[in-house]
């Protein structure tokens, strides 16, 4: 993991604040594989929206680039970007990729969540 201790707006827009969020090597490998097949940059965006069965829900998507106010971390050449509003709800989290008998998915291990739903895609603070 690469860490730069300055806000992204002060340095390269892809700079990192590693203490805020983390991307596991398994998640980085999966993002790289998907991005390679789709011909897109290996940049995964994590956002939080209102809704879901617990109050907030995670939203994942591929990004072409980071925005000026994004926090960015990089693992094995793959970037995870989180906007400044969502960051308050996921600060300290790790994004992982897990495969099990129930399926495969990106999973957010969020220390801020007071509760969550059974599927792991929504949470409450």
Q: Bigger pLDDT: 30 or 116?
A: 30
Answer whether residue 3 is part of any domain.
no
Answer whether residue 81 is part of any domain.
yes
Position 103 pLDDT exceeds 90: no
Please give the pLDDT value at position 16.
40
Answer whether residue 4 is part of any domain.
no
Assign residue 82 a region: left if phi > 0, alpha if psi is -120 to 50, beta otherwise? beta
Answer whether residue 6 is part of any domain.
no
Neighbours of 99 (CB within 10 A): 10
| Residue 79 pLDDT class (50, 70, 90 cuts) | very high
User: Among residues 105, 75, 66, 73, which one has the least CA distance to residue 92?
Assistant: 73
Q: How far apart are CA 11 and CA 72, in angstroms?
A: 12
Q: How far apart are CA 34 and CA 18, in angstroms?
A: 23
Number of domains in the chain: 1
Return the SS3 of 120.
coil
- Cα angle at 107 between 5 and 61, to 5 degrees? 75
Task: Say which CATH number the domain at 60 has.
Answer: 2.60.300.12
Answer whether residue 13 is part of any domain.
no
Single pTM value for the model: 0.74
Please give the pLDDT value at position 74.
93
Q: In the chain, what percentage of residues exceed pLDDT 90?
A: 34
Range of the domain at 50: 21-124
Asked if 66 and 47 count as a contact pair (C-beta separation under 8 A), the reply is: no
Q: Strands across the sheet with 78-82, in order?
A: 71-75, 78-82, 43-51, 55-62, 122-124, 115-116
Assign residue 104 a region: left if phi > 0, alpha if psi is -120 to 50, beta otherwise? beta
């Amino acid at each position: 993991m690469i860490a730069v201790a300055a806000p992204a707006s002060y340095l390269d827009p892809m700079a990192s604040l590693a203490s805020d969020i983390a991307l596991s090597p398994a998640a980085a490998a999966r993002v790289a594989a998907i991005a390679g097949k789709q011909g897109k940059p290996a940049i995964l965006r994590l956002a939080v929206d209102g809704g879901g069965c617990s109050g907030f829900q995670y939203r994942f998507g591929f990004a072409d680039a980071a925005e000026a106010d994004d926090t960015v971390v990089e693992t094995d050449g793959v970037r995870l970007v989180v906007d400044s509003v969502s960051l308050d709800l996921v600060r300290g989290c790790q994004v992982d990729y897990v495969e099990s008998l129930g399926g495969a998915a990106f999973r957010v291990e969020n220390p801020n969540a007071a509760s969550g739903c059974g599927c792991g895609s929504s949470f409450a603070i």
